[in-house]
């Protein structure tokens, strides 16, 4: 009898692990499907940064758009609070402008290494399971909204400085929040709200 119960528990555990893997796969596919069919996206955002002995919260409006089938996406971040600034990328170059500084800084978009980079693939040919190694559910992380689920994975392109990325996914398969846990202990996060898709 004890062996039968133990065998049933082992089979039940294996089935539940398989079901969780299936859930992660189906969630990732649904998110990919949602974003890969968008031509553009507009959302209000809130960025929070904690690390290196400081905390900062900024907010504004984000626009993402596809440039074409093979070209990288375009991004525009208009920060309103606490200080106005503008970040724009055409997929090749990126510009950062702070009105008070009266000058724009330009850099090669391929060299970008900041919180905006993980959002860029959302308007490309996204494949979460390919982009994030070890993609799995994060039951230890509470979602901000009821009904959302949180996934975790390690971005292949940033694995040297990012220990994991958490993605909060809505029931409509939209990314509501991205939390980046960096290896140095800092934690930038971006929450998206009031989306308009095209």
Identify the pLDDT of residue 198.
62
Q: Which residue has the tokens 């090749």?
A: 92
Q: What is the pLDDT of residues 1-40, one digit of tens each?
A: 454 333 334 434 332 333 344 599 999 999 988 888 777 8
Number of alpha carbons in the 13 Å side-chain half-sphere of residue 47: 20
pTM for the complete prediction? 0.80
User: From CA 192, how far away is CA 175, in angstroms rounded?
Assistant: 7
pLDDT value at position 153?
93
For the chain, domains (ranges, CATH) are 2-197 (2.50.20.10)
Determine the pLDDT at residue 103: 87
pLDDT per 10-residue tile (average), the chain, 198 residues = 41 34 85 84 90 91 72 80 91 88 86 58 70 94 95 86 92 91 89 74
pLDDT at 13: 35
What DSSP string describes 133-169?
EEEEE-TTS--SSTT-EEEEEEEGGGTTTEEEEEEEE
């Amino acid at each position: 009898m004890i062996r039968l119960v133990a065998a049933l528990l082992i089979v039940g555990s294996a089935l539940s692990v398989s079901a969780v893997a299936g859930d992660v796969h189906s969630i990732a596919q649904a998110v990919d499907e949602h974003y890969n069919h968008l031509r553009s996206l507009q959302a209000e955002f809130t960025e929070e940064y904690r690390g290196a002995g400081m905390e900062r919260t900024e907010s504004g409006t984000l626009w993402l758009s596809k440039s074409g089938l093979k070209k990288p996406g375009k991004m525009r971040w208009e920060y309103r609070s606490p200080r106005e600034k503008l970040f724009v990328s055409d997929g090749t170059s990126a510009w950062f402008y702070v009105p008070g500084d009266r000058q724009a800084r330009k850099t090669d978009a391929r060299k970008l290494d900041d919180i905006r980079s993980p959002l860029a693939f959302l308007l490309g040919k996204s494949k979460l399971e390919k982009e994030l190694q070890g993609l799995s559910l994060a039951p230890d992380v509470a979602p901000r909204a009821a009904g959302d689920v949180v996934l975790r994975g390690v971005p292949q392109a940033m694995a040297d400085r990012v220990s994991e990325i958490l993605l909060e996914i809505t029931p409509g398969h939209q990314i509501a929040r991205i939390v980046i846990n960096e290896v140095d202990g800092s934690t930038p996060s971006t929450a998206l709200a009031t989306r308009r898709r095209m």
